[in-house]
């Protein structure tokens, strides 16, 4: 063998044995950011999914449809409010669409069904609503973040509000599914009085609450606490008002009054108490821009579902920008998400170790703008920097 040939072979082997030099982060930047967004876009609760979609689109408009200078594509999927459909649509986003992030999810049972395929694929999952307690505790995961709240947090605020109002005896009514159970447990975590009754109603079929209202009348509590979203909340509030109990026993709630239900609840929502992490009138610049531009575009007030979705997009954008688009670097993306360097519509915001927010809860009320128009306003801050009780169970 010639010396020149041997030298060439030796040189080639030497180069093959050398470790690859990592390219700069800029060279590894994605050409497009793909986000799968799962929500309810059909059926009686489609208004909430549409509000979330409207808010995602508004966030993208505010960003120039780019995150960290990189074009963004959002693929929307309809879960039909069915866990099995939500899981199927989520797997489609992962396997066929190859999305970089999965976000959305209104319902806790739908999120729980879709959760494992996402985190097992090491794709970041950003909840824009549901915050079931298992995911905040024992099942917390480095790839899961809640841009909304833990299910117990807002009820914990209402429990403290009940204490401030001097309530001693409380009756609880909620639907018997994951979120309903968490919402009942949350108020009991901070309420210092006695729970004199609790009914967990059939979900999602039950829309007649006359039996529960009769039991409330017999128990004679100082107050009633309910969690009923969407049409269930409209029905409960209507029946409670028609029973005459609203004038006798104050009604407290979470997630039962919003810009959509208020169009139907109207006067029956007046003179009730509720607590939430966000309201359309919060004074923060990001919130004023979000609400103001939403109203201009859609001639309507956004709901908290929309506010959380707007935050979810800005959270993802903050991570893309911080990593200069190198979203394949999962550790860097995770650290950037944990830092939460974005202006939340709720004001001060940070993540606990379980990737659920630490934030304030506000007392809110419905007021009458005119004979035909109703709105929601903030009364006071109930509690600040509230952590959910499951964080201690998270082993991250």
Residue 13 lies in a domain: no
Do 135 and 160 lie in one domain? The reply is no
- Could you tell me if 70 and 30 are in contact, meaning their C-beta atoms sit under 8 angstroms apart? yes
φ and ψ of 7, to 5 deg: -65, -40
Number of independent structural domains in the chain:
2
Residue 191 lies in a domain: yes
- Could you tell me if 387 and 352 are in contact, meaning their C-beta atoms sit under 8 angstroms apart? yes
- Burial annotation 346-379 (CB, 10 A radius, 16+ → b, else e): bbebebbebbbbbbbbbbbbbeeeeeeebbbebe
For residues 142 and 363, what is the distance between their CA atoms, to the nearest angstrom? 32
Asked whether the whole model's pTM tops 0.85, one would answer yes
> What confidence score (pLDDT) does residue 28 get?
81
- Overall average pLDDT of the 79-102 stretch: 98
Does the structure show a pLDDT above 90 at 21?
no
Higher pLDDT, 94 or 23: 94
Give pLDDT tens digits for 22-77. 444 444 888 999 999 999 999 999 999 999 999 999 999 999 999 999 999 999 99
> What confidence score (pLDDT) does residue 167 get?
98
Q: By residue range, what is the domain housing residue 250?
A: 153-274
276, with CB counted inside 10 A (0-12, 13-18, 19+), is buried
> What confidence score (pLDDT) does residue 126 get?
98
> What confidence score (pLDDT) does residue 14 get?
44
> What confidence score (pLDDT) does residue 4 get?
45
Does the structure show a pLDDT above 90 at 223?
yes
Do 70 and 171 lie in one domain? The reply is no
Least confident range from 23-27, 105-109, 324-328, 355-359: namely: 23-27
Do 120 and 175 lie in one domain? The reply is no
- Overall average pLDDT of the 202-213 stretch: 97
**Closest of 278, 260, 298, 264 to residue 345, by C-alpha:** 278
Do 135 and 169 lie in one domain? The reply is no
- Could you tell me if 104 and 130 are in contact, meaning their C-beta atoms sit under 8 angstroms apart? no
- Domain end among 274, 301, 319: 274
CATH number at residue 325: 3.40.50.2300
Mean pLDDT of the chain: 93
* Residue found under tokens 């990593």: 323
For residues 375 and 362, what is the distance between their CA atoms, to the nearest angstrom? 16
Query: With bands split at pLDDT 50, 70 and 90, how would you rate the model's confidence at 17?
Result: very low
Q: Annotate 299-319 with DSSP letters as a single string.
A: SS---HHHHHHHHHHHHHHHH
Give pLDDT tens digits for 129-167. 999 999 999 999 999 999 999 999 999 999 999 999 999
Give pLDDT tens digits for 252-278. 999 999 999 999 999 999 999 999 999
Do 119 and 38 lie in one domain? The reply is yes
Residue 158 lies in a domain: yes
- Domain end among 351, 371, 391: 351
Give the rounded percent of residues in the chain with a pLDDT score beyond 90: 91
Token pair belonging to 380: 């006071």
> What confidence score (pLDDT) does residue 29 get?
86
Residue 383 lies in a domain: no
- Domain end among 230, 253, 274: 274
Does the structure show a pLDDT above 70 at 1?
no
Give pLDDT tens digits for 370-380. 988 999 999 99
Do 266 and 172 lie in one domain? The reply is yes
- Overall average pLDDT of the 216-233 stretch: 97
């Amino acid at each position: 063998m010639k010396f020149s040939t041997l030298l060439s072979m030796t040189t080639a082997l030497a180069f093959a044995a050398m470790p690859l030099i990592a390219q700069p982060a800029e060279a590894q930047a994605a050409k497009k950011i793909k986000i799968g967004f799962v929500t309810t876009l059909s059926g009686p609760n489609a208004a909430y999914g549409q509000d979330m979609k409207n808010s995602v689109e508004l966030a993208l408009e505010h960003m120039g449809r780019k995150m960290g200078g990189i074009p963004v594509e959002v693929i929307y999927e309809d879960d039909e409010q069915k866990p099995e459909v939500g899981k199927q649509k989520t797997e489609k986003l992962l396997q066929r669409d190859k999305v970089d992030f999965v976000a959305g999810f209104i319902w806790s049972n739908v999120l729980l069904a879709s959760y494992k395929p996402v985190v097992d694929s090491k794709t970041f999952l950003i909840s824009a609503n549901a915050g079931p307690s298992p995911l905040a505790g024992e099942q917390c995961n480095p790839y899961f973040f809640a841009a909304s709240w833990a299910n117990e947090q807002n009820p914990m605020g209402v429990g403290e509000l009940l204490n401030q109002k001097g309530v001693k005896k409380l009756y609880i009514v909620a639907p018997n599914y994951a979120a309903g159970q968490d919402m009942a447990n949350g108020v009991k975590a901070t309420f210092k009085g006695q729970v004199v009754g609790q009914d967990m109603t059939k979900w999602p079929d039950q829309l007649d609450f006359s039996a529960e209202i009769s039991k409330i009348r017999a128990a004679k509590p100082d107050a009633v606490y309910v969690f009923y979203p969407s049409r269930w909340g409209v029905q409960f509030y209507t029946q409670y008002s028609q029973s005459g109990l609203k004038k006798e026993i104050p009604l407290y709630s979470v997630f039962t009054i919003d810009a959509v239900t208020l169009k139907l609840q109207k006067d029956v929502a007046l003179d009730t108490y509720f607590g939430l992490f966000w309201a359309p009138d919060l004074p923060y610049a990001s919130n004023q821009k979000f609400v103001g531009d939403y109203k201009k575009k859609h001639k309507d007030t956004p709901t908290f579902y929309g506010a959380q979705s707007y935050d979810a997009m800005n959270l993802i954008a903050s991570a893309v920008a911080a990593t200069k688009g190198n979203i394949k670097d999962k550790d860097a993306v995770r650290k950037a998400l944990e830092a939460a360097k974005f202006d939340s519509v709720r004001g001060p915001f940070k993540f606990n170790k379980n990737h659920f927010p630490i934030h304030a809860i506000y007392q809110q009320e419905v007021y009458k703008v005119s004979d035909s128009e109703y709105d929601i306003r903030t009364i006071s801050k109930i509690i600040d920097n509230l952590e959910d009780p499951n964080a201690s169970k998270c082993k991250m």
